[in-house]
Structure 1
């Protein structure tokens, strides 16, 4: 059975919202073996444009019929007015200024319910981490805050069509999957002001290793960033740019895989993202594992129903 389900339960208790695979599972002390799903699955997932990888984090609202899309923590907004936020304990507060670009969850009524701190601009990150402490996310003080009324529409190294273009990427490992906000593996993030940041462990949200993205190039399956300086932990190559030099870092889609535990339990399906010899990965989340699961033919408790298979297939193929 997928351990992803138990994660979601923990998160609902922790945040009161579906934020993603941020919590710790009972497999925290286990190691796993990495099993690739094969070229057929790789080819199908690679049909998704790399700019759309963040959309895998979208979930279904199963309380509605017909089912509808629910939340995606990578959606980006530009604040129309200042927003007072707090850390998860709500013991301290800080104000994000009008015009700030934020990434997070909304209530479907134009209000922000959760903000991803590593996605803020460096200026706002310094403000948040100095005042609120080392938290992966912030919570608005006022429920009806209007923070999600204005999508951030600029297409930059950070955002594409009002969604963070490159999701947080964890370093690939045979440890259980706790992605960028899950207290375990090192990860890479992109800030709202287009800084590429390497976090030395999953619980270290305050930026220490980062470089400005001076320009970037896109193909269907790869993103190439040209950095002002190298970032330790990220594979780069020094290249000439006019009369100066930049540092090229390419992220390209690789194998789809599972992390299998000794009891044949798994955290679902993930996608390798290659950065030279360095390997990162992201989870394919609910939609992705149901899509892949319907292809590989899961059985028993993990079998994908025909209804779920059709929903997931239609959604994923819509990202091609």
Structure 2
């Protein structure tokens, strides 16, 4: 038989466990967050039983500086503080090894990467992490083209079109929304789930779950069905797969402390030089975002 204490304890504990809370970003003007990004992507393509594997290793430092706030949104200046890319092929060996801070006089790629650093891109962030608007990608691309030293108008325009797919405003929005767009519109309790979707070259339908919450941290896990669709003059790739995400975020600001995204996708690709031949293709990736510094400018 339960005592009065047992009954009251059960009622209070049950109310505590089922309590709902609002999740989202709570940022202040002049807040600065510095994030280290590490990404590894392995692409495997098979032709007539022979596999070709390309491995991309990318790491960089991103700075997010809150420039203004209002009732619904935050205005943020994002800058690349460092960016490094190494690409290797199982057949051809090292294809690229560029470090943005190390400019090599006769290396076009190093000059282009270096031009990315410390150029602000302005984004408007909703309190649930949706990137409402982003601008500055065009300025970024212009600086990269200027750094290349290319003078021919046709080549410049071709280069701009290629860079827009990775560094244009929309491409940056699609890329970094994966890092920010994690919170629900409504209050939730531990164990509750919610859904959202972001689009781009990677289209992801996400289901998020609040796993734990404390005075210091919020823990969220996510699963997603993803579609990758890449189309350009030389390639056409369409893959389907899944993605798993785990996030530890600061309870006060809502900004991530650690985020890991693991994905796998399979499908086919075609190449212009091979006509309509479909090439079995798979991509596996792991991306980690880690907060390495946080401060408020006085």
TM-score by length of 1: 0.24
**Structure with a larger share of its residues in strand:** 2
TM-score normalized by structure 2? 0.26
